[in-house]
Amino acid sequence: MNSEQKYHINLDVKFPALERIDIPTIVAQCKDPWFNQTLTKVNDSVVRIGIVQGEFHWHTHEDDDEFFYVIEGKLIIELEDRSITLGPGQAVTIPKGLPHFPKAPVKTVMLMVETSAIAPTGD
- How many other C-beta atoms are found inside a 10 Å radius of the C-beta of residue 79? 12
Q: How much is the pLDDT for 3?
A: 44
Q: What are 45-98's pLDDT values in tens digits?
A: 999 999 999 999 999 999 999 999 999 999 999 999 999 999 999 999 999 999
- Give φ, ψ of 5 to 5 degrees: -80, -35
6 confidence band (pLDDT: 50, 70, 90): confident
**Which class in CATH covers the domain with range 3-115?**
mainly beta
**Domain residues of the chain, as ranges?**
3-115
Whole-number Å distance between alpha carbons of 35 and 18: 24
Model confidence at 2: pLDDT above 70: no
Which H or E element spans position 25? helix 23-29
Whole-number Å distance between alpha carbons of 58 and 78: 9
Instruction: Please give the mean pLDDT across all residues of the chain.
Output: 93
Q: How much is the pLDDT for 5?
A: 52
Model confidence at 1: pLDDT above 60: no
Q: How much is the pLDDT for 123?
A: 75
